[in-house]
Amino acid sequence: MTASDRQPLANVAEHLRDDEIHVWRMAYRHAQGRAPLRRVLAAYLHRDATEVVLVDGEHGRPALAAGHDRGIGFNWSHSGEHAVIAVGRHVTPGIDLERLRPRPRALDIAQRYFSADEAALLAALPAADRSAAFLELWTAKEAVLKALGRGIGFGLHRLSIARVDAQLRLLRLEGDDARCWQLHPLAVGSALLAALAWRGDTRRVRSYTLAGDG
C-alpha cells in the first residue's frame, strides 16, 4: 500500500514504524549535493543536518558514519530536477529514479547487458513502447542492486525482473533467493519512473513530498 501526503518532515519522521518504509520526493538541483539527503536523515536521527556524517561504501552507496543510529537504513537517487529518498528501520532499501526519455538503443542495450528473458520481453514489444519498458526494468534492477550494496558492475544479467499479474517481480538473483525480496514501482509523476527494493518481509510504503520549508 502507498499513502501519499504532504506533511512536515519532522512530524513524519517521528512516526516511522518498523514495518514501514518512507519515501520522500523533492525538487533537486545538482549544486545541492547531498544536503537534501542529510536534511531528511537528520529528522529521523533527531540531529541537526550539519551533524549528519556520510561515508561511501565499497561500491559508492552512502552510509551513516560511526556514531549514528545504524538502525536507520536509507538510499537515494536523483535525476534531472528531481530526487527521491527511502528511509526505514532495520532494512537496507534501494531506490532508483529515472526521467522518461526516448532510448533508441534500448533493445540493443538489453540484448547485450540484460538477462535473455528481459531482452526477449523487450523485443516482443512495439518499438514505440520499448523506451518506457526498458527504463522500468532499468530502475527496478538499479533498486535491487543498490539494496544489495552493489552497482551495475555486479552484472545486469545476473538478475531478472518481469511484470507478473501487473506487478514487478524479481524472478532471479544470482547467489540469493529472489523470493526473499520485495520490489515496488513508485508513482512519482508522468515524466518519471522510480522503483524501490529491499530484502525482507513486506512493509507499508508511505510516500511524501518534501516541501521547500521542510
With H, G, I as helix, E, B as strand and everything else as coil, classify residue 109.
helix
**For residue 172, what pLDDT band results from cuts at 50, 70 and 90?**
very high
Phi, psi of 84 (to 5 degrees): -135, 145
Q: What is the pTM of this model?
A: 0.92
**Cβ neighbours of residue 139 under 8 Å, at least 6 residues apart?**
96, 97, 98, 185, 193, 194, 195
Give the mean model confidence (pLDDT) for residues 142-158.
93
pLDDT at position 1 is 38
